[in-house]
């Protein structure tokens, strides 16, 4: 799923389910290799202001099951891999098995639960594996070698958080990210994608040059949607093309 | 560690190492003679422990049972919160952290944190929902006077739950030099255990005092439950005794109105703020807005140990609405000359209610978790 890949994050149903599908298709056509679909949550402790704002606005009129409708509509036109990114409570509340089954049958390829470290994930991981849903776990610059190995075991790719902090655009990639990437690449067998704070083509190139198998960009896209709402399509295309040039080396 | 199925450590991976560091430090220090002596010194000489167990003569005569009040309202800062903030601030100091962050609702925990930080020479930043920040101007001023930075949180419902979110976001960035001094028996492991242990001094003293005064254990102990720290503190040393332990949640405008904060009585299992517990949430797992006249009870969740004690039947949980709490607030003020915090008034109200059905000379202990000075504004408005 991840090999010099650009992963693009969208908030589900923001500003509407239809628009989300359109954004996902636009990004896919412009060069996104994987789409990450975030489920809005009332208490997103791992997210910075930009994504928080998209969640607050979406929650005024949102049901979790819209995520499955978005997926079905997207699958009619694209087979690009989709990873769901969620906090645990909406999944727990629906029932883990129920949620994973519905996600799987609507075409979701993998799930990443931000606040479910692997120590708490035994039952969840068993359910996912019995259904055929791939799982992705977070790693951070302070994750021990022992934990990295366990995360590697359970993940289809590793989502490495670039810094000590929440999601959000940053001027520079933290030096922590490069150290952590080197360590993760040494220890893990699975591909490593780096996210949090990645927002420019230059960031993308630096990380790919440093050995990242993928990069995840979220807040830079969501900021555009916060500003332009449904008419963000053209800007999303441009940003995707631009970020992709950081991978292709042609910018 | 879990309490039955409840508790756990549901946090982003980056917080696992700081939580492990905290757990190791706490396990070492809780047995450490020097640490315990130092904490004991400050609890006595700075906070004012032990607090009296007061036989409330007039209330007892009126109700026909023996009512005792555990006077946590007499502590420095005016509430039980200081037991925990002194413990954790000292822990932070031993861990070499130079900064403390905390969330606060009404401002009681924020004030107690600011005091402890000032005492131990630590930097303090207190997160407070913007709504509470506007409602509780006096406590904002107190915290600033005590040297803390107070940051209003504009996100989400702009109340206590959002202040916790923001404190967690801060901690993710700052854990290398910052301790998160959480204010109740909530959050990821080991917080619920640490806070319960530091608050257990309430129950340990109470047990000694009641045995001295009555030569028997009480029939019942009543405490209000927001996150649940004053209740856990007084219950814990009695868990294996034949004493009825009753936690009182806030029924707000009535549980049927949806405007309340009774997560144990009306909530469902969920995961938030690092713990599996009971929460007030919608069908999709989004947290609901809560209400109580007592800002300290206005939280959509509850500590995981209470969830466990409820499901295992070891403790009983009930709810008291705004109106009943206000009546008890007035009653205790008038009968005993003691103005309780609105939070504690919930416990008083339930003691009054249950007294009617108890034998004469039954002993009820009410944990008077705080004093009511902070509530004068709200009560004046309500009684006008
Ligand atoms: C006086 C008082 N009692 C009780 C509480 C509720 O907290 P807990 O349930 O953790 O004791 C508060 C919280 O602010 C408080 O100030």
Q: Which residues of B, range 15-54, sit inside 8 Å of A by Cβ?
A: 16-17
Q: B323-362: per-residue pLDDT in tens? A: 999 999 999 999 999 999 999 999 999 999 999 999 999 9
Any atom of ligand 1 within 6 Å of the Cβ of B224: yes
Q: A239-249: per-residue pLDDT in tens? A: 999 999 999 98
Judging contacts by C-beta atoms under 8 Å, the chain B residues touching residue A174 are none
Buried-state track B323-345, b at ≥16 Cβ within 10 A, e below 16: ebbbebbebbeebbebbbbbbbb
| Peptide linkage before B190 cis (omega within 30 of 0) | yes
pLDDT score, position A250? 53
Judging contacts by C-beta atoms under 8 Å, the chain A residues touching residue B162 are 43
Q: Which residues of B are catalytic?
A: 81, 103, 369
pLDDT score, position B319? 98
CA distance B13 to B332: 48
CA distance A47 to chain B (A): 8
Interface test with A, best of B14, B166, B177 (most A CBs within 10 A): B14
Q: What angle do CA B118, B123, B126 make, to 5 degrees?
A: 90
pLDDT at B197 over 80: yes
Whose C-alpha lies nearest to ligand 1, atom 1?
B370
CA distance A119 to A128: 15
Higher pLDDT, B89 or B384: B89
pLDDT at B172 over 90: yes
Average pLDDT in the B170-185 region? 98
Strand partners, A112: A85, A136
Domain boundaries, chain A: 5-248
CA distance B148 to chain A (A): 23
**Catalytic position from the list A3, A33, A36, A234:** A36
pLDDT score, position B274? 98
Q: How many angstroms does the Cα of residue B286 sit away from the middle of ligand 1?
A: 24
Q: What angle do CA B228, B182, B314 make, to 5 degrees?
A: 25
Any atom of ligand 1 within 6 Å of the Cβ of B109: yes
Positions of chain A with pLDDT lower than 50, given as ranges: 251
| Cβ separation A142–B271 shorter than 8 A | no
CA distance A148 to A117: 11
CA distance B277 to chain A (A): 11
Q: Does B9 touch chain A (CB under 8 A)?
A: yes
Q: How many angstroms does the Cα of residue B79 sit away from the middle of ligand 1?
A: 8
Q: B231-282: per-residue pLDDT in tens? A: 999 999 999 999 999 999 999 999 999 999 999 999 999 999 999 999 999 9
Would you state the structure tokens that stand for residue A110, as one six-digit string? 């993998």
Strand partners, B279: B268
pLDDT score, position B60? 98
The answer to whether the beta carbons of residues A207 and A172 sit under 8 Å apart is: no
pLDDT score, position B137? 87
Mean pLDDT score of chain A: 97
| Peptide linkage before B50 cis (omega within 30 of 0) | yes
**Catalytic position from the list A22, A43, A47, A172:** A47
Any atom of ligand 1 within 6 Å of the Cβ of B60: no
Among B229, B309, B348, B367, the mutation site with the greatest number of ligand 1 atoms within 8 A of its Cβ is B229
With tokens 């990437």, the residue in question is: A181
The answer to whether the beta carbons of residues A8 and A221 sit under 8 Å apart is: yes
pLDDT score, position A116? 98
Average pLDDT in the B200-210 region? 98
CA distance B35 to B24: 15
Q: B74-119: per-residue pLDDT in tens? A: 999 999 999 999 999 999 999 999 999 999 998 999 999 999 999 9
On whether ipTM exceeds 0.85, the answer is yes
Q: Measured from the CA of B195, which atom of ligand 1 is nearest?
A: 10
CA distance B188 to B179: 14
CA distance A154 to chain B (A): 14
What is the layout of strands, in order, in the sheet containing B123-129? B149-153, B123-129, B99-104, B178-180
| Peptide linkage before A15 cis (omega within 30 of 0) | yes
pLDDT score, position A139? 98
pLDDT score, position B30? 96
Query: Chain B residue with minimal CA distance to A158?
Result: B13
Q: Does B1 touch chain A (CB under 8 A)?
A: no
With tokens 């050995």, the residue in question is: A211
Average pLDDT in the B3-27 region? 98
Cα end-to-end span (Å), chain A: 24
The answer to whether the beta carbons of residues B275 and B12 sit under 8 Å apart is: no
- Beta-strand pair B274-279/B268-272: antiparallel
Whose C-alpha lies nearest to ligand 1, atom 10?
B229
CATH architecture label of A5-248: Alpha-Beta Barrel (3.20)
Any atom of ligand 1 within 6 Å of the Cβ of B159: no
Any atom of ligand 1 within 6 Å of the Cβ of B70: no
Whose C-alpha lies nearest to ligand 1, atom 12?
B296
With tokens 């819209």, the residue in question is: A66
pLDDT score, position B157? 84
Dump the DSSP string for A153-179.
HH-SSEEEE-SSS-S---SS--HHHHH
| Helix/strand/coil for A225 | helix
| Helix/strand/coil for A248 | helix
Higher pLDDT, A19 or B135: A19
Among B343, B347, B378, the mutation site with the greatest number of ligand 1 atoms within 8 A of its Cβ is B343
Helix axes B191-199, B201-214, angle to 10 degrees: 30
pLDDT score, position B136? 86
| Cβ separation A119–B9 shorter than 8 A | yes
């Amino acid at each position: 799923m991840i090999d010099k890949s650009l992963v693009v994050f969208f908030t589900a149903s923001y500003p509407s389910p239809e628009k989300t599908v359109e954004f996902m298709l636009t990004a896919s056509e412009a060069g996104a290799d994987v789409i990450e679909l975030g489920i809005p949550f009332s208490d997103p402790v791992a997210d910075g202001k930009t994504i928080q704002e998209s969640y607050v606005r979406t929650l005024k009129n949102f049901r979790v099951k819209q995520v499955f409708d978005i997926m079905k509509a997207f699958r009619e036109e694209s087979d690009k891999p989709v990873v769901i990114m969620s906090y645990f409570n909406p999944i727990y509340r629906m029932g883990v098995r129920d949620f994973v089954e519905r996600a799987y049958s609507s075409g979701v390829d993998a799930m990443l639960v931000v606040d479910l470290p692997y120590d708490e994930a035994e039952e969840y991981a068993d359910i996912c594996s019995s259904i055929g849903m791939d799982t992705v776990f977070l790693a951070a610059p302070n994750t021990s070698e022992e934990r990295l190995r366990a995360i590697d075991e359970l993940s289809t790719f590793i989502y490495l958080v670039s810094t000590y902090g929440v999601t959000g655009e940053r001027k520079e990639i933290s030096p922590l990210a490069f150290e952590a990437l080197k360590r993760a690449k040494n220890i893990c067998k699975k591909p490593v994608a780096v996210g949090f704070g990645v927002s420019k083509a230059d960031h993308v190139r630096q990380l790919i040059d440093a050995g990242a198998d993928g990069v995840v960009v979220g807040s830079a896209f969501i900021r555009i949607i916060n500003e332009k709402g449904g008419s963000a399509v053209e800007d999303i295309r441009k940003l995707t093309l631009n970020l992709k040039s950081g991978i292709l080396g042609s910018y | 560690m879990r309490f039955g199925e409840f508790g756990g450590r549901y946090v982003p991976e980056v917080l696992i190492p700081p939580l492990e560091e905290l757990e190791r430090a706490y396990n070492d220090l809780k047995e450490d003679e020097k640490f315990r002596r130092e904490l004991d010194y400050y609890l006595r000489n700075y906070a004012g422990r032990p607090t009296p167990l007061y036989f409330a003569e007039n209330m007892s005569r009126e109700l026909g049972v023996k009512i005792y009040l555990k006077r946590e309202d007499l502590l420095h800062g005016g509430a039980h919160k200081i037991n925990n903030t002194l413990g954790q601030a000292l822990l932070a100091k031993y861990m070499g952290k130079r900064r403390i962050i905390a969330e606060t609702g009404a401002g009681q925990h924020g004030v107690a944190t600011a005091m402890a930080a000032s005492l131990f020479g630590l930097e303090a930043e207190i997160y407070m929902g913007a709504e509470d920040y506007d409602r509780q101007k006096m406590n904002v001023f107190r915290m600033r006077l005590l040297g803390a930075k107070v940051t209003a949180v504009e996100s989400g419902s702009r109340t206590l739950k959002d202040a916790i979110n923001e404190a967690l976001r801060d901690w993710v960035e700052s854990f290398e030099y910052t301790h998160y001094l959480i204010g109740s028996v909530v959050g990821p492991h080991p917080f619920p255990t640490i806070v319960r242990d530091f608050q257990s001094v309430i129950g340990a003293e109470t047990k000694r005092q009641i045995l001295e005064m009555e030569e028997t254990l009480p029939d019942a102990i009543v405490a209000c439950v927001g996150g649940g720290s004053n209740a856990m503190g007084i219950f814990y040393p009695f868990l294996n005794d034949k004493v009825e332990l009753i936690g009182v949640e806030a029924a707000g405008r009535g549980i049927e109105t949806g405007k309340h904060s009774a997560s144990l009585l009306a909530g469902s299992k969920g995961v938030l703020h690092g713990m599996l517990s009971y929460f007030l949430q919608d069908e999709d797992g989004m947290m609901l807005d809560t209400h109580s006249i007592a800002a300290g009870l206005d939280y959509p969740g509850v500590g995981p140990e209470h969830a466990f004690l409820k499901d295992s039947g070891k403790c009983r949980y009930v709810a008291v609405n705004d109106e009943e709490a206000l009546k008890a607030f007035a009653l205790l003020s008038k009968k005993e000359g003691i103005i309780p915090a609105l939070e504690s008034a919930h416990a008083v109200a339930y003691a009054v209610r249950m007294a009617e059905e108890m034998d004469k000379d039954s002993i009820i202990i009410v944990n008077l978790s705080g004093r009511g000075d902070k509530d004068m504004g709200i009560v004046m408005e309500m009684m006008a």
